[in-house]
Chain A
Amino acid sequence: MIEGIFVEGLIYSIMALGVFFTFRILDFPDLTVDGSFPMGAVVMAACLHQGVNPVTGLLLAFAGGVLAGVTTAEIHNRLKVPHLLAGILTMTMLYSVNIRILSNRANLPLLRVETVLTKIHAWSEGFISAEWASLIFFLLVVILIKKGLDLFFITDMGLMFGALGNNEQMVRTQGVNPAILKSIGVGLSNGLVALSGAFAAQYQGFADVNLGQGIVVSGLASVMLGEFLLRSNRISILTLRVVLGTILFKAIMYLGRYYGYYINMTPNDLKLIAGILIIISLAAANIRNKKEKNRS
Chain B
Amino acid sequence: MIRLEKVQKTFGLGTAGEKTVIRNLDFEVEKGDFITVVGSNGAGKTTLFNLISGSIFPTQGKILIKGKEVTRDPEYKRAKAIGRIFQDPLAGTASNMTLEDNMMITSNKGFKWPKISLTRTMRQSFQEQVKQLEMGLESRLKENVNTLSGGQRQALTLLMTVTSNPDILLLDEHTAALDPRNAELVMALTKRFINEKGLTTLMVTHNMNHAIEFGNRLIMMDQGEIIIDVKQEAKKQLTKKRLIEMFSEIKKRDFENDEVLLTS
Contact = CB atoms under 8 A, between A and B. Distances in A.
Contacts of A171: 76
Interface string B82-97: 1110100011111111
A85 to B, nearest CB: 24
**Interface size grouping (class) on chain B:** 35 or more
B17 interface: no
A162 interface: yes
B66 interface: no
Given A154-B118, A174-B105, A176-B112, A163 B94 contact: yes
A172 B113 CA distance: 16
Given A162-B101, A166-B97, A170-B94, A175 B114 contact: no
Interface in A38-59: none
A93 interface: no
A283 to B, nearest CB: 21
B112 A170 contact: no
B104 A159 contact: yes
Interface in A154-176: 154-160, 162-163, 165-167, 169-176
Nearest to B166: A173
B106 A233 contact: no
Contacts of A169: 86, 91
B255 to A, nearest CB: 37
Interface residues of A, number: 26
A152 interface: yes
Contacts of B118: 154, 159
Given A167-B91, A174-B79, A178-B76, A155 B97 contact: no
Contacts of B55: 172
A157 B94 contact: no
Contact of A163 (B75, B97, B115): B97
Contact of B105 (A170, A172, A178, A233): A170
Contacts of B113: 155-157
A155 B105 CA distance: 10
Contacts of A158: 114
Most buried by B among A154, A155, A156, A180: A156
A137 B74 CA distance: 48
A66 to B, nearest CB: 15
Nearest to A152: B114
A155 B115 contact: yes
B110 A233 contact: no
A171 B104 CA distance: 12
B127 interface: no
Nearest to A179: B76
A154 B117 CA distance: 8
B93 A156 contact: no
A172 B95 contact: no
Contact of A156 (B74, B90, B117): B117
Given A175-B79, A178-B76, A233-B97, 15 more contacts: A151-B116, A154-B116, A155-B117, A156-B113, A158-B114, A159-B118, A160-B112, A162-B97, A165-B94, A169-B86, A170-B105, A173-B92, A174-B105, A233-B96, A233-B143
Closest 6 CB pairs of A and B: A166-B94, A175-B79, A156-B112, A175-B109, A155-B114, A157-B114
27 contacts: A156-B113, A157-B112, A157-B114, A159-B104, A160-B105, A160-B112, A162-B94, A162-B96, A163-B97, A163-B102, A163-B105, A167-B94, A169-B86, A170-B94, A170-B106, A172-B75, A172-B76, A172-B79, A173-B79, A173-B84, A175-B110, A176-B76, A176-B110, A176-B111, A177-B111, A178-B76, A180-B111
Interface of A: 151-152, 154-160, 162-163, 165-167, 169-178, 180, 233
